[in-house]
A = this chain, B = another copy of it.
Amino acid sequence: MFTFDRIAQDGRARAGIFHTPHGDIPTPIFAPVGTQATVKSLTPAQLHELGASLVLSNTYHLYLRPGADLVEEMGGVHEFMQWPNPMLTDSGGFQVFSLSDMRKIDEDGVTFKSHIDGSTHRFTPEKAIAIEEQLGADIIMAFDECAPPLDRAYNERALARTHAWAERCKKAQKRSDQALFGIVQGGIFADLREQSAQFISSLDFPGHAIGGLSVGESKEDMNQMIEVVDAVLPENKPRYLMGVGSPEDQVNGIRRGIDIFDCVLPTRLARHGSAMTRTGRINLMNATNAHDKRPIDETCNCYACQHFTRAYIRHLIIAKEMLASTLISIHNIATLLNLVRDARTAIQAGAYDQFADEFLANYNKLQ
């Protein structure tokens, strides 16, 4: 059911198809994030029109509100939010560990307080998998610990837990129609990353993720860690770089063998009036856009760019109109989806390095 067909390889970059019960995912792919079972400010119809494939939702958020029982009762997260295509849920680990002074870790799991009402809850590997099975996404993630990337001693302890928890997650899984991905951790320490990739690979998950990156370390460290892990993970299974999704990170990640990305950036930046393009970010609030009849990006084929001027979108931002978020989100997600589509085409043509070099040379040029 969860086979991964590699259809082209160019250097370390790969083009493939990951088959899921809710359809095929062409890789490399960018997954928009629907934290609370909605990709903020967009309808599923708008996401579909963008050509989105995989959509991510967050276990921590859905567990707290509206509750995994309710989502299950409503037929699972696909049916609940009306996204008929592939979905992925994280394990809640990243959110829980981000609560810092509102959580307590032990070898068995984590006790934490809700950011909504302060109520106390507990996640263990078994509990996280049970919730993800209630939610019913196609790809579910093991419960791991995301440690501060630069703290060696902490990463060693956390990695032992993450590995023990990965085994417990695998044993806890009951549903066979969900692909459980293992997660490689290890901060910015090459030996820990290598050790983690070897251990996680040995558990024979149908796919692998790299966690704990893009959380404060340098771009060089991130790219090096991806390379270390890429050299160890089996080629015949998809690799998912969790929480990473800026255009340059995608281009660099694909070059290092990554197949799947997700990130809240396109919708979060949209809510702050910031547009993502292949040459860099544009602050649409800027007065230079006040009389600008051009679309956000003249090279973009999205609904926002095919219809609306920068002047109009700037007006919407200043007037605090919701449509601003919707239009910029459409554009930003289109930018990332078009980027992975073009990367895939370049890989198939054996021209990925040239594509990546040209992209990076143009990126961050002045608008």
Which A residues have a C-beta under 8 Å from some C-beta of B? 36-38, 40-46, 65-66, 70, 73-74, 80-82, 290-291, 293, 303, 307-309, 311-312, 314-316, 318-319, 321-323, 325-327
A182 → chain B, closest Cβ, in Å? 30
Closest to A306 in B: B82
**B residues less than 8 Å from A312 (CB atoms):** 37, 74, 80-82
Q: A80–B321 Cα gap in the complex (Å)?
A: 15
Q: Could you say which of B41, B66, B70, B73 contacts A323, with CB atoms under 8 Å apart? A: B41
A295 → chain B, closest Cβ, in Å? 11
Nearest 8 A-B pairs (CB), nearest first? A66-B315, A36-B319, A41-B322, A38-B323, A82-B307, A38-B321, A322-B322, A80-B312
Q: A44-B307, A70-B290, A311-B70 are in contact. Are A325 and B322 (CB under 8 A)?
A: yes
A37-B315, A43-B327, A66-B318 are known contacts; what are 17 more A-B pairs with Cβ within 8 Å?
A36-B321, A38-B316, A40-B321, A42-B323, A43-B326, A44-B307, A65-B318, A66-B290, A66-B311, A66-B315, A66-B319, A70-B311, A70-B315, A74-B309, A74-B311, A80-B311, A322-B325
A50 → chain B, closest Cβ, in Å? 13
Q: A81–B311 Cα gap in the complex (Å)?
A: 10
A269 → chain B, closest Cβ, in Å? 15
Copies of this chain held together in the complex: 2
Closest to A271 in B: B322
Cβ B65 vs Cβ A315 within 8 A: yes
Cβ B40 vs Cβ A322 within 8 A: yes
Q: A44-B307, A309-B74, A312-B80 are in contact. Are A65 and B319 (CB under 8 A)?
A: yes
Cβ B322 vs Cβ A43 within 8 A: no
**B residues less than 8 Å from A66 (CB atoms):** 290, 311, 314-315, 318-319
Cβ A70 vs Cβ B291 within 8 A: yes
Cβ B303 vs Cβ A45 within 8 A: yes
Q: A103–B321 Cα gap in the complex (Å)?
A: 26
CB-defined A-B contacts under 8 Å, sample of 28: A36-B315, A36-B319, A37-B315, A38-B323, A41-B322, A41-B323, A41-B326, A43-B46, A43-B303, A43-B323, A43-B327, A44-B307, A45-B303, A65-B315, A65-B318, A66-B318, A66-B319, A70-B291, A70-B311, A70-B315, A73-B291, A74-B311, A74-B312, A80-B309, A82-B308, A82-B312, A322-B322, A322-B326
Closest to A314 in B: B66
A179 → chain B, closest Cβ, in Å? 25
A62 → chain B, closest Cβ, in Å? 9
Closest to A312 in B: B80
Q: A308–B37 Cα gap in the complex (Å)?
A: 12
Q: A319–B34 Cα gap in the complex (Å)?
A: 12
Closest to A315 in B: B66
Residue of A321, A322, A323 with highest tally of chain B CB at under 10 A: A323
